[in-house]
Structure 1
Amino acid sequence: MSHHIGKSIVILVISSILSLVIVNGQTTIGATVVLDPQDATILVEETKTIEVKFRGRLTQSVQFNFSAEHEEFVKVTPSSVTVDPPSDGFIDRAVQVTVAAISPGQFDLVGHVMPAGLIDDAKAFIRITIANSGTLIYVAIVIGWIYFVAWTVSFWPQMIINFRRKSVVGLSFDFLALNLLGHTLYAIFNCSMYWNDHIEQEYFSRNPRGLNPVIANDVAFSLHASLATLLTVVQCFIYERGEQRVSYTAQGILGIFATVIVVAGILVGTSTWHWLDFLYALSYIKLAITLIKYVPQAVLNFRRKSTVGWSIENILLDFTGGTLSMLQMLLNAYNYDDWASIFGDPTKFGLGLFSVLFDIVFIVQHYVLYKNRTDPKTLEEESSNSTYPAESAAGSKASIP
C-alpha cells in the first residue's frame, strides 16, 4: 500500500516539474506587425513608401527582415529593421520603408521577425504589382467596363425579338436550359463568396495572403444574367413555340449535373467537404456548361438552315465582350510580365477563346450560310429542339421540366 502511495507521489512531483518547465518555456505573443498598405501598384523605375507597423507588448529586441526572394523585382530599403522594447513594455511604432521597382511582375513581399514567437508576423506581407505602363492600367480598366456592359446587354436582344415576334421558334430550349442552370450556379457561387463571411473565412484560411476573387461586378453580372435568362424561359411558356421541347439528351446532361450537386451537398452534410468545396463544384459545372451550351443552338440553326428567331445582336455583343476580355488579359500579361496567367493556366483564356469561336460560327451562319432565309419551314420540321446529332426527331422530344 505504502509502495503505491510513494509511486503516486513521485509521478505527481515529476508531472509538476514538467508542467513548470513547459510553462516557463512557452513564449507569449503579445505584439503584431503588419505592412501598410497590403496592396500596392508601382511602375517600373518608380518607388513607393510603405510602413512596417509594430503594436503590442514587447519585452526584448527583435529584428524584422524582408525576404530576399524577389530581389530581381524590387529593392527594399532598409531590408532589415531592429526594434527595441520601450520602457513601459508596450510598442506602437511605424517604420517607413522604400520599395523601388526594378522589373514588372506580381508577387507577395514578405517579412519575418527574429527571434520567432515574440511578434505575430502573419500579416507582414504586401501584394505588389509592378507594371510597365500606367496608361495600360487605365486602358485595361476601360476595356473591362466595356466588355462588362457588352455582356450584360447581350441578354436583352433575344427577349426583345421574342416579344416582337410573339414567338420563340428558332431559339434552342436546350441552350436555354443549360444557360439558366449555368448562370444560376454562377450567381450562387458569387453571392456566397461575396456576402457569406463564413465562406470568405474558409477561403482566406486556405489562401492567407489572397484576395477574395469575387468583386461587386461579378455579383451584379451573375444576378442579372440569371434573371434575364429566367425571363427568357418565361417567354417560352407564353409565346408560340411550335413543337420545341428540351431534348432527352439535354435532360440527361442536366440530370448528371443535378446528381453532382446532390452528391456534393451530401459530402458537405457529412462534413467530408466544406462549403467552399461545394461552391467549387458548382463553378466546375458552370465551366462545363460554358463548353457545351452553344452546341444545341448551332445544330438547330444547321437543321433549319436558318437563324430566324435567334438574335444575332446577342452574338455580336457576346463576341465583343469575349474579344475585349481576351485583349484585357493580353494587355495585363504584357504590362505585368505575367504570361504564365495565360499559357501556364490557360483555362480562363481558353474558355473565352472557345466562346468567341462559337460566336464566329453563329456569325457565319447568319451572314453567310443562311443569309437569304427569311421564311421558316413548317414548325414541325424546324422547331424540334432535338439538337444533338445522335437523337432522331421523333424520339427526342420531351416536355419542358
Structure 2
Amino acid sequence: MIVSKIIILVLIGCLRVVKSEYSLKFSTNDITVIVDENKTFNLLLNGFVDEAVNVTLVEAYDGLVDLNPTEFLITKENQQNQDESFLVEVVGRKAGHLEVTTEVNGEFNDKNKSLFLRILVANASSIIYISIVIGWIYFVAWSISFYPQIYVNYKRKSVVGLNFDFIALNIVGFILYSLFNIGLYWIPEIQAEYASRYPTGVNPVLLNDVVFALHAVFATSITIYQCFTYERAEQRISVTARSILGLFLAVILISMGLVAGDVILWLDFLYICSYIKLSITLIKYIPQAVMNYRRKSTQGWSIGNILLDFTGGLLSMLQMMLNAYNYDDWASLFGDPTKFGLGLFSVLFDIFFMLQHYVFYRTTTYEEIPGEDVQESSNSDVQEHS
C-alpha cells in the first residue's frame, strides 16, 4: 500500500512537471517600420504554465519606437489554450535601429534568440525600394564586369597589356572570398560557431554573395586560361607579387594549423581569409596602373571592366548613403569606414584608370612584338579597343 501511494505521488509530480513546461518566442526576430506608421508582431506561448509568468519587453534605446503593450502576465487562470498568441504593436517615432530583449520573471534573457527582436525605423518606404533596386543594379554591373576583358583577349588572341599580377591577386582574393561565403552560408558547424559567438547577430552572408564570389572565380579562371593560350610576350607574375602571395599562403597555412590544434575556430580562419581579401582589394589595382604608365598605353586592357566596376562601386556607395539617411545610421559610414572606404578606394582607382585611357594615353598605342622593337603609332588604332 505504501509503495502504491509513493508511485501515485511520483506520477502526479511528473504530470505537474510536464504540465508546467512551456516555451516563449517572438513570431519574428526582425521588423522594419516607417516613422509614424505601425506594424505588429506576436509573443507566442506553447505549453501550459503552472505558475504566473511575467514577460517584460526591454528597449535598448528610448524614443525610437512605442511598444504596446510592454508587459504580459500569464497565469494558469487566464490561459485558455496550449498555444496562445499575444499581439504587440510597434509604432515608429524616429529613424534608427534598436534591439528589444526580454525579462521573464525578472530574469534577463541575454542569450535567447527566440526572445530577441531587431527593429529598423526608416524615414521612407520608397527609399527602401530604391535601395533594393540599386543593390541589384550594382550586383549585375560587378558580375558582368569580368567579360569585357575576356572579349578583348579573345578578339586580339593576345593578353599583352593585361597585368598578370592583377590577375593573380584577383583569383586568390576571390577564392578566399568564396571560402568565407560558402562557410558561413552552407556549413552548419561554422554557422553554429557564428551563432555561439554572436547569439543575437544576423548571418552576414546572403545567397547573392555566394553566387557573386563563385562567378568571380569562374570568370577570372577563364582569363587565366587565356593567359596560357594567347600571345603574352614576356609577361609573367612579378617577384613582388609572388612574395606577397607567398606571405598570404603562409598566413593561411599557419591559420589552418591553429585550427587543427584547436587554438582558433574555423570561423576565425574564415575571417582571416576575409582580411586577406580586403588587403588584396587595396593593392590589386596598383600593378595594372603602373604597367599602363610604363607602357604609356592601355592597349590590350579593357576599359569596359573599369566602367562597370566604377558603376558598381558608385552605386554601392550611394546605397550605403541612402541607407544611412533612411535609418539615421551614419555610423555605418564614418564609425566603421572599412566597407565604404574600400568602395571609395576602388572608385578613385577607376577614375585614375579612365584618365589613363581617355586622357593621358589617348593618342598613343603600344604593341610589343617578340623579336622586334617597341612600336608606337597614332591613335587611329586606339578606337578598336575603346
Query: Hey, what's the Cα distance between the residues in 1 that align with 2:147 and 2:56?
Result: 56
How many equivalent residue pairs?
356
CA pair 195-382 structure 1, distance change in 2 beyond 3 A: farther
The CA distance in 1 between the partners of 2:243 and 2:116, in whole Å, is 49
CA distance in 2, matches of 1:254, 1:282: 13
Structure 1 residue 34 corresponds to structure 2 residue 8: no
* C-alpha distance in 2 between matches for 1:122 and 1:285: 31
* AA matched with 2:247: I
- Asked whether the 8 Å contact 1:304–1:377 carries over to 2, the reply is no
Give how far 1:92 is off.
2.4
Structure 1 segment 1-400 matched on structure 2, within 5 A: 30-85=21-76, 91-116=82-107, 122-377=113-368
The verdict on how the C-alpha distance between 1:68 and 1:254 changes in structure 2, with shifts beyond 3 A counting, is closer
Deviations 1:326-371 (A, max 9, x none): 0000000000000000100000000000000100110000000001
Distance in 1, matches of 2:238 and 2:34, equals: 54
The alpha-carbon deviation at position 85 of structure 1 amounts to 2.5
Q: Which amino acid aligns with 1:186?
A: Y
CA distance in 2, matches of 1:87, 1:302: 79
Kindly state the Cα deviation for residue 110 of structure 1 after the two structures are TM-superposed. 1.5
Residue 378 of structure 2 is matched in structure 1 by none
- The equivalent residue for 2:13 is none
Aligned partners of 2:38 and 2:294: how far apart in 1? 62
* Contact 2:59/2:99 (<8 A) preserved: no
CA distance in 2 between counterparts of 1:138 and 1:382 reads 53
One-letter code aligned to 1:65: T
After superposing the two structures, state which structure 1 stretch, 122-131 or 85-94, moved more: 85-94
Q: C-alpha separation between the residues in 2 aligned to 1:255 and 1:161?
A: 30
TM superposition outliers: structure 1 runs of 4+ over 6 Å: 87-90, 380-383
What is the Cα deviation at residue 71 of structure 1?
A: 2.1
> Closer, same or farther in 2 for the Cα pair 1:288/1:117, shift >3 Å?
closer
Give the secondary structure class of the aligned counterpart of 1:123: helix
Q: Report if the CA contact (8 A) 1:76-1:98 is conserved.
A: yes
1:41–1:117 CA distance, 2 compared to 1 (3 A):
closer
TM-score, with length taken from structure 2: 0.88
Give the conservation status (yes or no) of the 8 Å contact 1:304–1:382. Answer: no
1: distance between equivalents of 2:272 and 2:71? 44
CA contact 1:306–1:376 (8 Å) conserved in 2: no
| Percent pairwise identity | 51
Contact 2:180 2:273 in 1 (8 A): yes
Partner of 2:381: none
Structure 1 unaligned runs (5+)?
A: 1-26, 384-401
Superposed displacement of residue 375, structure 1: 4.0
Distance in 2 separating the partners of 1:194 and 1:69: 29
Residue in structure 2 matched with residue 17 of structure 1 by the alignment:
none
Which letter does structure 2 place at the counterpart of 1:250? A
Alpha-carbon deviations, 1:51-87, whole Å to 9, x = none?
1112234221011111143221011111111010259
Structure 1 contact 32–121 (Cα < 8 Å) conserved: no
Compute the RMSD of aligned alpha carbons. Answer: 2.2
1:23 — aligned with what? none
**1:280-333 Cα shifts (integer Å, max 9, x gaps):** 000000000000000000000000000001100000000000000000000000
Q: Is the 8 A contact 2:296 2:366 kept in 1?
A: no
Could you tell me how far apart the structure 2 residues matched to 1:310 and 1:382 are?
A: 17
- Quote the Cα distance in structure 1 between the aligned partners of 2:304 and 2:197: 42
Amino acid at match of 2:87: Q
Q: Judging changes above 3 Å, is the alpha-carbon distance between structure 1 residues 217 and 56 closer, same or farther for their aligned structure 2 residues? A: same
**C-alpha contact 1:33 1:121 (8 A) present in aligned 2:** no
2:155 counterpart letter in structure 1:
R
Look up the equivalent residue of 1:278 and give its one-letter code: F
Contact 1:303–1:382, Cα closer than 8 Å, also in 2: no
Aligned to 1:396: none
Checking the alignment, whether the CA contact within 8 Å between 1:58 and 1:89 is kept in structure 2 is no
- Code of the aligned partner of 2:117: I
**SS state of the match for residue 111, structure 1?**
strand
**Mapped partners of 1:234, 1:86: distance in 2:** 74
